Amino acid sequence: DFGVVLEQVQLRDLTFPKNIQDLFARHLEAKIRAKADLENARTAVATARTLKNASELMKGDENMRFFQFLETITKIAEKGKHTFLVGEFPQLPK
């Protein structure tokens, strides 16, 4: 019964084969992509909810309708030379 008893062992340098290193890298990349995709999906859902809520708030508001009307006129005016008449007009003779 002669031998050596090891009480503590410490690894200094451990290198995995290239194919195992590639597997680790692909796994890590997939995890990072999945996190980014999940965050993008959450952002898209939050944006959709916000737009829906804003739409509900604006649905019956006359001031918002007028504001949208002004925005529409502005967009039309940017596309060319137009004349706009806004307001109530007397009946034109026939």
Q: List the chain domain ranges.
A: 18-75
Phi, psi of 83 (to 5 degrees): -120, 130
How confident is residue 2, by pLDDT bands cut at 50, 70 and 90?
Answer: confident
Query: What is the model's pLDDT at position 15?
Result: 92
Q: What is the pLDDT of the chain when averaged over all its residues?
A: 88
pLDDT score recorded for residue 56 = 85
Angstrom distance (rounded) from CA 82 to CA 75: 11
Contact at 8 Å (CB) between 16 and 24?
Answer: yes
**Looking at residue 78, what is its pLDDT?**
87
Give the model confidence (pLDDT) of 26-65 as tens digits.
999 999 999 999 999 999 999 999 999 988 887 878 888 8
**Cα–Cα distance between 42 and 48 in angstroms, integer?**
10
More confident residue, 94 or 62: 62
